[in-house]
């Protein structure tokens, strides 16, 4: 196998063997602690612009199938792993991991000491890195170039309207890089779903006559999407709204809150989150590098609903008078536990209630 190198902006260099496209790639270096779900992770649009390190020691042992995809393309910039299985064992497998990476034109390194790599990420917190075929001492800004959040979102969001389902409830999904599992949850609840690009004006969404709005997950720094805060605010003040991950952060920012970069984020399938109303702890799937600053949330408008048990970060909030819900974790999971799937039922309950109230107002 051909040797490759992972160069960190902090100076460390890791060697490994090339997988996939074998092309130099730059991105933010992150890690995920999940034991399974590598296919869902690689196709999760929230990973756009990032080099994903798998903590689990063997990746690819059940191959690549046609079902477990969260988008139509591999979204990560590159992947790093300790050991790659080239002889997967699963009846649904149609390709190996390395074959899929090569087909998608995505680079990877295997036989890397991922335990030491994760320790370095935790030490330095935010780390940019580059996979190269030859070691270099180049440290110019162009070498570590970083795509803007707008550019990242454009690469993963739909370019035009897409419609799914024929249900009675009509949900508009404002797309900043949605996961297909979110769409599937709405379709299984017998909703009609219209996916619209993140740049769609409020007035155009009104013409679609939605019963509710879901603001999706996506990549990048939420503060860089300020141009869309007014639309998010108007939508949430007009329709029952659910924000997931980036959508949660955008709702907070649109209503006057603030966000900040986390030391190394939450990425994995076993993050404990406490429901502040019941005291119950739910194990959740998460993938984010930013968080809402608790002290910035306007108390008169929002109340916290969930808190992370490990670091006390904000994991959810709801509006005190309007039907607005948001969660930092992924209730649709994939990969990870589906313990929090009831969030979709809570949202749709608000949608139905608001529509019934509107009908009663018309008849009275």
- 39 and 88 inside one domain: yes
Q: Which of 114, 146, 178 is the last residue of a domain?
A: 146
Q: Where are the beta strands (DSSP E) in the chain?
A: 3-8, 13-20, 25-32, 50-54, 58-59, 78-80, 83-84, 107-110, 127-132, 162-164, 169-175, 191-197, 212-215, 241-244, 259-275, 281-292, 302-308, 314-319, 324-327
* 256 & 295 share domain: yes
Looking at residue 364, what is its pLDDT?
54
At 261, the pLDDT band (50, 70, 90 cuts) reads very high
Determine the average pLDDT of the residues in 246-262: 97
Span 41-58, pLDDT tens digits: 999 999 999 999 999 999
- Annotate 103-171 with DSSP letters as a single string: HHT-EEEES--HHHHHHHHHHHSSEEEEEESS------TTTT----HHHHHHHHS-SS-EEE---SEEE
Please report the pLDDT score of residue 146 as a whole number: 80
Which residues are annotated as catalytic?
Answer: 245, 330, 332
Gap between the Cα atoms of 128 and 170, Å rounded: 41
- Point out the domain boundary residue: 146, 169, 187: 146
Residue 144 pLDDT > 80, yes or no?
Answer: no
Is the pLDDT reported for residue 207 higher than 70? yes
DSSP state of 49: T
With cut-offs at 50, 70 and 90, classify the pLDDT of residue 135. Answer: confident
Q: Using alpha carbons only, what angle is made at residue 63 by residues 62 and 68, rounded to the nearest 5 degrees?
A: 90
pTM of the shown model: 0.95
Tens of pLDDT along 4-55?
A: 999 999 889 999 999 999 899 999 999 999 999 999 999 999 999 999 999 9
**Average pLDDT, stretch 185-191?**
97
pLDDT at position 278 over 70: yes
pLDDT band at 137 (very low <50, low <70, confident <90, very high): low
Question: Sorting pLDDT into bands at 50, 70 and 90, what band is 134?
Answer: confident
CB 112 within 8 A of CB 80: yes
Quick one: which of 330, 345, 184 has its CA closest to 247?
330
Q: Note whether 180 and 295 are same-domain residues.
A: yes
Same domain membership, residue 247 and residue 142: no
* CATH number, domain containing residue 173: 3.40.50.880
- Average pLDDT on 256-270 reads 96
Are 119 and 181 in a shared domain? no
Strand partners, 15: 5
Token look-up 């990973």 returns 47
246-254 vs 229-238: helix crossing angle, rounded to 10: 90
Please indicate, yes or no, whether residues 142 and 160 belong to a single structural domain of this protein: no
pLDDT at 360: 76
233 three-state secondary structure? helix
Sequence-separated (6 or more) residues with CB below 8 Å from residue 363: none
Give the pLDDT of residue 363.
Answer: 58
Query: Quick one: 127 and 161 in the same domain?
Result: no
Q: Are strands 25-32 and 50-54 parallel, antiparallel or unpaired?
A: parallel
Residue where the block lists tokens 């970069």: 261
Output the six-digit token pair for 112: 């890397």
Q: Do 157 and 138 have their domain in common?
A: no
Q: Is the pLDDT of residue 139 over 90?
A: no
* pLDDT tens digits, one per residue of 287-314: 999 999 999 999 899 999 999 999 999 9
**CA gap 249, 258 in Å, rounded:** 8
**Domains identified in the chain, total number:** 2
Q: Are residues 321 and 233 in the same domain?
A: yes
55-64: pLDDT as tens digits: 999 999 999 9
Please tell me the predicted confidence (pLDDT) of residue 147. 85
Provide the domain limits for residue 107: 3-146
Closest-CA residue to 225 (of 177, 168, 153): 153
Pair (31, 44) in one structural domain: yes
Based on the fold, state whether residues 57 and 128 are members of the same structural domain: yes
2 vs 212, residue with greater confidence:
212
Specify the pLDDT at position 178: 98
pLDDT above 70 as % of the chain: 97
Residue 116's CB is within 10 A of a number of other CB atoms, namely 10
Tokens of 38: 């590598």
Identify any residues that bridge with 289 across adjacent strands, giving them in sequence order.
none
Grouping H, G, I as helix, E, B as strand and the rest as coil, residue 240 is: coil
Point out the domain boundary residue: 97, 127, 146: 146
* SS3 (DSSP) at 92: coil
119 — pLDDT class (breaks 50, 70, 90): very high
- Tell me: pLDDT of 248 over 70: yes
pLDDT of residue 1: 75
139 and 162 share one domain: no
Mean pLDDT of 65-84: 97
CATH value at residue 65: 3.50.30.20
pLDDT tier at 359, thresholds 50, 70, 90: confident
């Amino acid at each position: 196998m051909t040797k490759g190198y992972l160069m960190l902006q902090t100076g460390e260099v890791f060697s490994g063997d090339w997988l996939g496209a074998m092309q130099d790639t730059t991105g933010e270096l992150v890690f995920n602690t999940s034991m399974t779900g590598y296919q869902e992770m690689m196709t999760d649009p929230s990973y756009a612009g990032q080099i994903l390190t798998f903590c689990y020691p063997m990746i690819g042992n059940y191959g690549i199938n046609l079902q477990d995809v969260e988008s139509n393309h591999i979204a990560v910039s590159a992947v790093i792993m300790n050991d790659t299985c080239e002889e997967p064992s699963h009846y649904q497998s149609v390709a190996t991991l390395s074959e899929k990476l090569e087909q998608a034109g995505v680079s990877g390194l295997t036989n890397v000491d991922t335990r030491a790599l994760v320790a370095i990420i935790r030490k330095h917190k935010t780390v940019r890195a580059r996979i190269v075929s030859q070691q270099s001492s180049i440290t110019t800004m162009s070498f570590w170039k970083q795509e803007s959040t707008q550019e990242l979102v454009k690469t993963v969001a739909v370019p035009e309207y897409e419609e799914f389902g024929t249900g009675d409830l009509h949900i508009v999904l404002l797309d900043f890089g949605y996961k297909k599992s979110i769409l599937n949850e709405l379709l299984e609840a017998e909703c009609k779903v219209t996916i619209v690009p993140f740049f769609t004006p409020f007035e155009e969404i009104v013409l679609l006559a939605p019963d509710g709005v879901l603001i999706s997950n996506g990549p990048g720094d939420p503060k860089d999407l300020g141009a869309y805060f007014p639309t998010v605010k108007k939508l949430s003040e007009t329709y029952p709204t659910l924000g997931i991950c980036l959508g949660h952060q955008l709702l907070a920012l649109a209503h006057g809150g603030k966000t900040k970069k986390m030391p190394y984020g939450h990425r994995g399938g076993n993050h404990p989150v406490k429901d502040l109303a019941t005291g119950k702890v739910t194990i959740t799937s998460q993938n984010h590098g930013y968080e809402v600053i608790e002290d910035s949330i306007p108390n008169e408008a929002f109340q916290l609903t969930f808190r992370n048990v490990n670091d006390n970060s904000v994991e959810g909030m709801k509006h005190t008078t309007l039907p607005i819900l948001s969660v930092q974790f992924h209730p649709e999971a994939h990969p990870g536990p589906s313990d929090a799937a009831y969030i979709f039922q809570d949202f749709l309950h608000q949608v139905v209630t608001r529509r019934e109230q509107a009908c009663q107002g018309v008849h009275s």
